[in-house]
Amino acid sequence: MIGIKNVVAIVCGGGPAPGINSVISGITNEATRHGWDVLGIYDGFSRLARGEKNYVRLEPKNISRIHLTGGCILKMSRFNPTKKESDLRTVVETLTELGVTHLVTIGGDDTAYSSSAVSDYARKMGRTINVVHVPKTIDNDLPLPEGIPTFGFETARAFGTEEVENLMEDARTTNNRWYFTIAMGRTAGHLALGMGRSAGAALTIIPEEFPQEKIPLQQVVDIITGSIVKRYLTGKNYGVAVIAEGVIEKIAPEDFKKLGNVVTDEHGHIRYSELDFGEILKQAVLAEVKKLGIKVSIIDKEIGYELRCTAPIAYDIDYARSLGYSAVQFLMSGDSSALITIQDNKAVPMRFEDIKDPVTGKTKVRKVNIDSIHYKIARGLMMRLEEGDLDDPGLANAYRMTQEEFHKRYAYLFGKGEVPKEKEEKKEEKK
């Protein structure tokens, strides 16, 4: 056992995000300044759950420049110690053997839940390990107050914007080319919207814009096709559509099952992670534009993994170091079991119990506020079918329909009229 009164361990869980090393730097500098020992635990909770004491003692002299770097010096793991009580017990026992009195976890909602569980189980075992969680995710979907990002998001948005801008230029230069970019974000559309808005993409689609629990695949296809047709009529047969991966879970499962090549689990539920959503959209949209006589090539591309370990921009460097500092200050106050945030330039803890969904028991998910000015501006910059377009004879002609047919067919996109049925689609194909 390490014989120092206050020992703080740092555990990093989930996927990487720019700024993790900056948090580690902030923790180390502030904790050691007050005489605390700092242990960096390798590979998240995974080694602790096996009873392995795999750590590095962190001191200012050996981490002086890490705040500038991407990735995570401690490496990371998605291992969840809460699934088995024996794992929780071993984690607590291993931390205790290391002399750990305080724990800082850096991660997303799953890691936040795990840190809370570790603290609770330690108390159950008659031991005290005070914990604080530093929220991290490029998805920006943790339940912080509106306008306050999770660290790493702004860096991911900045570099994702550059990628979208490059694709936009490639599409313009080669002409007759569209890119369908599937952006990470889980069930929220923050990253997709952030990239699309900043780059000025022709179209961005996020799950939050659909109030229905499920929508037909055709609805997404119609939205994208509408953007392609409108740009085509302006002489721009090219563009980039950014689609949040969360849209996948909005699609009615039966629509995917019709494709015949989906992977299901033992309960018959679709494994969305196994779906090539970009390819599915590509083929469906190509079929639509072919009917209209528009010749275009489509390339689908996923964006996300390449953003996670990039070096943080200045905003995230400063933000993440402040979070690390604030986490130590919180623990020094004798407090525990909270997520640390910066609000109005002040450190504000948010209690674990206050950010849990009362139904699921898990951390709430922050969705994009489609009533916000940020979304309204983004929507206004897109070129997509709008309700007023239903009365445009030029568009109706481009779709090879009468005005009445065009209005009836696409009114459902604006909550007016019925969703087109498969039989109706087949009739149109025969025209």
Angle made by CA atoms 150, 132, 315, in degrees to the nearest 5? 30
318 and 219 part of one domain: no
- Are 215 and 250 a contacting pair, CB within 8 Å? yes
Would you state the pLDDT for residue 290?
Answer: 96
pLDDT of 264 over the 90 cut: no
- What is the b/e burial string over 132-148, where b = at least 16 CB atoms within 10 angstroms of the residue's CB? bbbbbbbbbbbbbeeeb
Q: Which residue has the tokens 């953007």?
A: 227
Residue 390, in any domain of the structure:
no
Tell me what pLDDT residue 258 has. 77
Q: Per residue, what are the HEC states of the chain?
A: CCCCCCEEEEEEECCCCCCHHHHHHHHHHHHHHCCCEEEEECCCCCCHHHCCCCEEECCHHHCCCHHHCCCCCCCCECCCCCCCHHHHHHHHHHHHHCCCCEEEEEECHHHHHHHHHHHHHHHHCCCCCEEEEEEECCCCCCCCCCCCCCECHHHHHHHHHHHHHHHHHHHHHHCCEEEEEEECCCCCCHHHHHHHHHHCCCEEECHHHCCCCCECHHHHHHHHHHHHHHHHHCCCCCEEEEEEHHHHHHECHHHHHCCCCCCECCCCCECHHHCCHHHHHHHHHHHHHHHCCCCCEEEEEEECHHHCCCCCCHHHHHHHHHHHHHHHHHHHCCCCCEEEEEECCEEEEEEHHHCECCCCCCECCCCCCCCCHHHHHHHHHCCCCCHHHHHCHHHHHHCCCCHHHHHHHHHHHHCCCCCCCHHHHHHHHHC
201 touches 166 (CB < 8 A): no
Residues 146 and 64 in one domain: yes
Q: For residue 16, give its domain range.
A: 7-151+312-354
Residue after which a domain boundary falls, among 304, 337, 371: 304
Residues 159 and 300 in one domain: yes
Query: Confidence class of residue 311 from pLDDT cuts 50, 70 and 90?
Result: very high
Assess whether pLDDT exceeds 50 at residue 430.
no
Q: State how far the Cα of 322 lies from the Cα of 199, in Å rounded to an integer.
A: 29
The mean pLDDT of 40-48, rounded to a whole number, is 97
- Structural domains counted in the chain: 2
φ/ψ of residue 205, rounded to 5 = -120, 125
In a domain, 407, yes or no: no
348 lies in some domain: yes
Say yes or no: 348 and 283 in one domain. Answer: no
Q: Are residues 221 and 282 in the same domain?
A: yes
222 is a catalytic site residue: no
Q: Which of 113, 124, 240, 137 is nearest to 186 (CA)?
A: 137
253 with 336, same domain? no
- Same domain membership, residue 317 and residue 222: no
CATH number of the domain enclosing 125: 3.40.50.450
Query: Which residue, 242, 269, 304, sits at the end of a domain?
Result: 304
Answer yes or no: do 17 and 105 share one domain: yes
pLDDT digits (tens, 9 = 90+) for 313-347: 999 999 999 999 999 999 999 999 999 999 999 99
Cα 405 to the center of its chain, rounded Å: 39
With respect to residue 330, please indicate whether it lies within any of the assigned structural domains.
Answer: yes
Axis-axis angle for helices 190-199, 373-381 (nearest 10): 50
Q: Same domain for 290 and 258?
A: yes
Q: Does residue 426 lie in a domain region?
A: no
Give 274's pLDDT tier (boundaries 50, 70, 90). confident
Residue in 43, 87, 109, 139 annotated catalytic: 139
Q: What is the CATH number of the domain that holds 278?
A: 3.40.50.460
Residue 367 falls inside a structural domain: no
Strand partners, 134: 106
Residue after which a domain boundary falls, among 304, 336, 363 = 304
Structural domain contains residue 420: no
pLDDT score, position 1: 42
Q: Residue 347: inside a domain, yes or no?
A: yes
Please give the model's pTM, rounded to 2 decimal places: 0.91
pLDDT confidence band for 356 (50 / 70 / 90): confident
Query: pLDDT, tens digit, for every residue of 60-118?
Result: 999 999 999 999 999 999 999 999 999 999 999 999 999 999 999 999 888 988 998 99
Spatial CA neighbour of 413 closest among 394, 426, 395, 431: 395
Is the domain of 143 the same as that of 161?
no
Of residues 269, 267, 320, the one with CA closest to residue 70: 320
Pair 133, 241 in one domain: no
Note whether 286 and 236 are same-domain residues.
yes
